[in-house]
Structure 1
Amino acid sequence: MSKNYKQIASEIVEALGGDENIISVAHCATRLRVIVKDREIIKDSEVTDIDLVKGSFFTSGQYQVILGTGIVNKVYEEVLALGLSGSSKNEQAEAASKYGDNWFKRMIRIFGDVFVPIIPVLVATGLFMGVRGLIMQEQVLALFGATPSTVSPDFLLLTQILTDTAFAFLPVLVCWSAVKNFGGSPVLGIILGLMLVHPALPVSWDVAQHKADPLYFFGFIKVAGYQGSVLPAFIAGLCLAKIEKWLRKRVPNALDLILTPFLTLLIMVVLSLMVIGPIFHQVEIWLLAAVNFLLGLPSGLGGLIYGGINQIIVVTGVHHALNLIEIQMLAETGWNTVNPISSASIIAQAGAALAVAVKTSSPKTKSLAYPSAVSAMLGITEPAIFGVNLRFVKPFIMGLIGGAVGGFLSSLFGLKATGMSITAIPGTLLYMNDQLPWYLLVNVISMATAFLLTYFFGYSDKMKEALEAKKG
């Protein structure tokens, strides 16, 4: 049955205080993000009662309505059709900062705004890696009368193009997104990113493994390509946008088309290769080493800690910064050890929400908790967290315990994904190798732990009644 997205959009606008209370609207993968004039006149209960709305919350000057993937795009289009003003996430960040947003939250949002647009490409690449890993297994090849040694070299080359391109040109993607986010010309970001991985430069991986020598400028500045690097490209994109905007204000209009891009790229290629690249590549190495140290703690301790706090990180919004770490892991090693632990913590919140749905006698709570649990099983936890678990507190805590158990087992089994950004049930596509049974086992145990703890110790209808009485 088709949904009336126009009606849903109209109801959301009305519950938010009407179009006169809305400054601008944007959206991310799952949420409608609205900058409002007056938070107090918003009718929260009416917002959450709207069809397809899975929850809502207010943070950093934004009222965020949780709708889910796919749905949010359609509702957003209908909201704009009502005559409201759309805005980029960067514009929303600037507006939100006027509402008391601190520097740390702004920095985390910036990381999210830059990396989220390139995630679909990395998801596709991870899936290509998973599929290649599956079809190249001897048992699968045997079904077609083939062996690894008889597979066509041309076919292997095709799979290599599918799996390697995004990471070989990763700085291009990051530079483009950063420049676009900070208000520069995206095409200059693309060119700068390509300069960072130009084939004339020694490949960074070869230099690190002493298979090639770096270039030397002034006798002491080592220069190499930054294939697979993330942070240098991010900082370079930021600086390019700032320099370009600074130059446009000062270069005469008649010369702007010629001088501004020329000077911007000239300045940035020197800064990127000789200053930004060496410094922030080293920072990148330290960050990756710190995460690997945590996850590598003996006896599964690192996985236990990270699995236990992962969804707390999601609630604070800091999880967007972890994209940097996962992207760098995949670029450096081809594997992602964060993903399986994140999956365990996500599926645990699904288990907690499912326990609430099974145990409650309230039809309204059931109607919210069941879809939220399904959404979390598909990797989107916001409906389960904000709509169910965090409302009653204890289910959220039980979900954290389930995530800790799953993270512990994931570390013990040494699970590692071929990609990123898909988790829980869809995440199985990143483990289409001999890890698959263990991945499934970890997720089943995580979900069962959270479900049982919530069912027996984490929820009762008295909690719901107490919450409603408190609101009343």
Structure 2
Amino acid sequence: MVTKQSVERIVQALGGKDNIVTASHCVTRLRLALKDESIVDKNELENVDIVKGFFSANGQFQVVIGPELVEKAYEQMLAITGIERATKEQVKSVAEKNLNLFQRLVKALGDIFIPLLPAIVTAGLLMGINNVLTGKGIFYPNQAFIDVHQEWKDFAGMINLIANTSFVFLPGLIGWSAVKRFGGSELLGIVLGLMLIHPDLLNAWGYAEAAAKGTVPYWHLFRLNIQKIGYQGQVLPVLVSAFVLAKIENFLNKRVPDAFKLLIVAPVTLLITGFLSFLIIGPVTFAIGKAITAAFVAVFDKVPLLGGLIYGGLYAVLVVTGMHHTFLAVDLQLIASTGGTFLWPILALSNISQGSAALAMMFVSKNEKLKGMALTSAISAYLGITEPAMFGVNIRYRFPFLSAMTGSAIAAVVITLQHVRASSIGVGGLPGFLSIFPQQWGVFFIGMAIALLVPFFLTFVLAKVKKVGQSEQSARNLNFN
């Protein structure tokens, strides 16, 4: 139950009302921009009965309260502190001032790709269904389901078309989100993205073959030879082009009279950005994207044990810091360049591991509030949403978080040694196997078993050793920032 006294304790633990610049809330958390996070009394904050956890990420200090209760706590906080009601965007804007350049870059990538997740995950799930229907050896030896049941062939074909749409027109989606993030016109962002994959351009997937044959088409402009190629499935070209487009558009909007904006701003912006994209931005970023892809592929091909151990063990830390969003771009680049990604399967196992560690805490704890939170957050993690488990349970007690990292690392090593890949990005939990190439399901299921059992066992044993069930107040938050 939310009381005025509980919220007053939270405010005091945060350094007093003068330390709170602005505040908003989401479904479960208070989202705060603080003047100085170093003066937060974490021990006191943890002992407030309504506080289920807290963490700092992207310049915001977030206090986990829980659904429904958080709104009541927020209203009490407004009344106690006298601060004005703020939106999440306003809190983000204030909090961003506390970030360094690298943190701002990571945050920008998160702001761009998070809105795209529903389309990308949906596409991944549908492609998983297509994998089940078209994968050989799943239902019949050496044959796919559609080979035996021909009436399902067109059904699978339609699913594949629907699923592929998000990936085929990915630059258009990124263009929309990126230009919006950089402060430009969203419509121009869509046009920019689609322009980079126009049918008149050489398809990016056919570039290597055309280059080998010497048949790459060119524009010959003012003694310049510009490659006439598209950027299907590419991430960096459209990201950089979107940034340039937004800056040019804003520059012109400030200087062109209102009466002429419709005739000048959009046409000039697209024309300049288009030329720069095909002349400089595209070729340079395309090469950078290939180099990044080659580097990841080299590591996971030549030393898969090391790659799996590091990425599997530390992925949860990336989530805590918010840096995991940057790897979504890498996943998409790998899928476009190589036909699959070996990083996303590790993500799915890491999420499962966090859920298993939280589930173990439900069995060892005697605190009814913690038991309920552990169960619901474990289910959430098994379905791909790990924040409740990580911040509400595992990081709070430290050893469940470390146990989950250990299980994730072991599971990741197993699947990377067998070069398990996903054909798409899907739900990063138990349903994640649908995105894995069907012929690799067996190995992935072994990895899933490890991710389910090892963190649970380690957490259970360590909890007994630490006597967590007898002393719930021994928990301390782990702050990575």
Q: If the TM-score is normalised by the length of the shorter chain, which range does it land in?
A: 0.7 to 0.9
Match of 1:285 in 2: 290
Are the counterparts in 2 of residues 392 and 464 from structure 1 also a CA contact under 8 Å? no
RMSD, aligned CA: 3.7
* Alpha-carbon spacing, 1:87–1:122, altered in 2? closer, same or farther (3 Å): same
Following superposition, the deviation at residue 390 of structure 1 comes to 1.9
* Distance in 1 (alpha carbons) for counterparts of 2:347 and 2:318: 11
Match of 1:327 in 2: 332
* Alpha-carbon spacing, 1:313–1:257, altered in 2? closer, same or farther (3 Å): same
* Alpha-carbon spacing, 1:156–1:361, altered in 2? closer, same or farther (3 Å): closer
Q: Which runs of 5+ in 2 are unaligned?
A: 79-83
| TM value normalised by structure 2 | 0.81
Match of 1:213 in 2: 216
- 1:461 equivalenced with 2:467 (yes/no): yes
Match of 1:188 in 2: 188
Are the counterparts in 1 of residues 135 and 438 from structure 2 also a CA contact under 8 Å? yes
Match of 2:96 in 1: 97
Q: Aligned match of 2:321 in 304, 316, 321?
A: 316
Following superposition, the deviation at residue 257 of structure 1 comes to 1.8
Following superposition, the deviation at residue 366 of structure 1 comes to 2.4
Q: Aligned match of 1:242 in 242, 247, 252?
A: 247
Match of 1:23 in 2: 22
Following superposition, the deviation at residue 310 of structure 1 comes to 1.1
Q: Which runs of 5+ in 1 are unaligned?
A: none
Are the counterparts in 1 of residues 10 and 48 from structure 2 also a CA contact under 8 Å? no
Are the counterparts in 2 of residues 54 and 383 from structure 1 also a CA contact under 8 Å? no
How high is the sequence identity, in percent, across the aligned residues?
A: 35
Three-state SS of the structure 1 residue aligned to 2:422 is coil
Following superposition, the deviation at residue 208 of structure 1 comes to 2.0
CA distances 1:232-291 after superposition (whole Å, capped 9, x unpaired): 101111111111111111111211121111111111110111111111111111111222
* Distance in 2 (alpha carbons) for counterparts of 1:450 and 1:225: 45
Matches within 5 A, 1:257-296: 257-296=262-301
Following superposition, the deviation at residue 418 of structure 1 comes to 2.6
* Distance in 2 (alpha carbons) for counterparts of 1:226 and 1:31: 39
Amino acid of the structure 1 residue aligned with 2:320: V
* Alpha-carbon spacing, 1:444–1:140, altered in 2? closer, same or farther (3 Å): closer
* Distance in 2 (alpha carbons) for counterparts of 1:75 and 1:322: 33
* Distance in 2 (alpha carbons) for counterparts of 1:288 and 1:149: 38
Amino acid of the structure 2 residue aligned with 1:196: L
Three-state SS of the structure 2 residue aligned to 1:447 is helix
Match of 1:57 in 2: 55
Are the counterparts in 2 of residues 12 and 47 from structure 1 also a CA contact under 8 Å? no
Three-state SS of the structure 2 residue aligned to 1:224 is coil
Three-state SS of the structure 2 residue aligned to 1:147 is helix
Following superposition, the deviation at residue 45 of structure 1 comes to 4.3
* Alpha-carbon spacing, 1:258–1:442, altered in 2? closer, same or farther (3 Å): same
| TM value normalised by structure 1 | 0.83
Amino acid of the structure 2 residue aligned with 1:333: T
- 1:363 equivalenced with 2:368 (yes/no): yes
Three-state SS of the structure 2 residue aligned to 1:107 is helix
Q: How many residues align?
A: 450
Matches within 5 A, 1:420-459: 420-431=425-436, 433-457=438-462
* Distance in 2 (alpha carbons) for counterparts of 1:422 and 1:13: 39
Are the counterparts in 2 of residues 353 and 373 from structure 1 also a CA contact under 8 Å? yes
- 1:307 equivalenced with 2:312 (yes/no): yes
* Alpha-carbon spacing, 1:423–1:87, altered in 2? closer, same or farther (3 Å): closer
Are the counterparts in 2 of residues 379 and 424 from structure 1 also a CA contact under 8 Å? yes
Following superposition, the deviation at residue 63 of structure 1 comes to 2.7
Are the counterparts in 2 of residues 47 and 56 from structure 1 also a CA contact under 8 Å? no
